[in-house]
Structure 1
Amino acid sequence: MANSLLIQADDICLIRLSTGNEVRPLPCPEIQELSRITSSPLIRFEETIGDFQSSAARLASEVTQTQRQTVLLTGDVLEGGITRAAFCLLVDGFRVFIVSDWCSTAEPQFRADFETRLRNCGAIIVSSRQVINEMAAQCQDSDLRFSLSQLI
C-alpha cells in the first residue's frame, strides 16, 4: 500500500508549463536532467491564454500519450497556469504532484494560499528534494541513485 503512494520513475510524466504570455518559465535545468536520468517523458507545454478548454484538452492528450498516470508539474505561474493545468489533470484522473520550488508565482506572499487550494482539490505539493530523494530511495541501480543525488 505505501509503495503505491510513492513517486515512481517508471510512472511519471514531467511537465514544464509556460503561460504563453511572452514570458518564458524560469530556467530549470534540473527538470531536464531528471527526465534524462529517469527516462521519464518531459512535456514543455505552452498554455493558450483565453482558450482554456483547448489548452486543457491539448494537455490531457499529451499526457495521455505518455501512458503515465503520475504528473510532476512545474513552471509558470502557480496561481494561474499551474492551477488550471493541475485541475484539468486531476479531473482527468491523473495523480498530480506540484513541485513547489520549481514553480514561479507573481505573488509570493500568497504562495501558501495557492498551495492550500491546490492541495484541497487533490494535488500533492512537494519540493524537488522530496521528489529526488523518494525516487533515489527506490533505485536498485547505484549509478542511477548517485545521479539523482547530484540534482539536490
Structure 2
Amino acid sequence: MWQKSTDVFIALGAPVAGYENNAPGVHIPIPLFIVRANYKGGIHPGKLAYGFGAYIPFGGKEYICREFEVYVGPVKWVRVHGKAIPAGAIQAGEEADGKKLYVARAKFPNGLFVGKAGSHLLKGCCISYQNKEWDVEDYDVLVGDYDTL
C-alpha cells in the first residue's frame, strides 16, 4: 500500500486525498496526496503537494521531507470528532515512543489538508499549512475497505 516516490514522479494509483488553495503563483487548487516519512525516530503521515514537495506536521511546525512513501490504495474516509480513532483505521506510522499514527484529512482555511491522527494528539488530528502545525478536532480518518484490500 506504500511506494517510494518523489514530488516529481508520483506513484501510479496514488489517490488525490485533498487540495490546497493560494499557493504562491498558482491560481488553481493543488492536489494533495497521502505520504509518510521518517522523522525524529518516528514515521509520520503527511501531504504531498504536487510540484511543491512532501510535508509532515511535527512539533508545531511544517517540515519538508525529501525521502517519503506515497499511499497507493483504496480510500474510504470516516468522519471523526476528537480523539476517537475508528475501528479499521489504517496505521501509517508511529511516534518515536511507539504511539500509533493514522492518516487523517481536515478542512481548514484554503483547503482540505492531509495530516495525521492519534488518540494522544491534542485534538486528535494535526495538519500542516504555511510552515505551521495545526490541531484540528473535526476530521476524517482513512480506514481499510476490506472488500478491496
TM-score strictly above 0.5: no
Q: Which has the larger radius of gyration?
A: 1
Structure showing the higher helix proportion among its residues: 1
Q: TM-score, normalised by structure 2?
A: 0.29
Structure showing the higher strand proportion among its residues: 2
Q: TM-score, normalised by structure 1?
A: 0.29
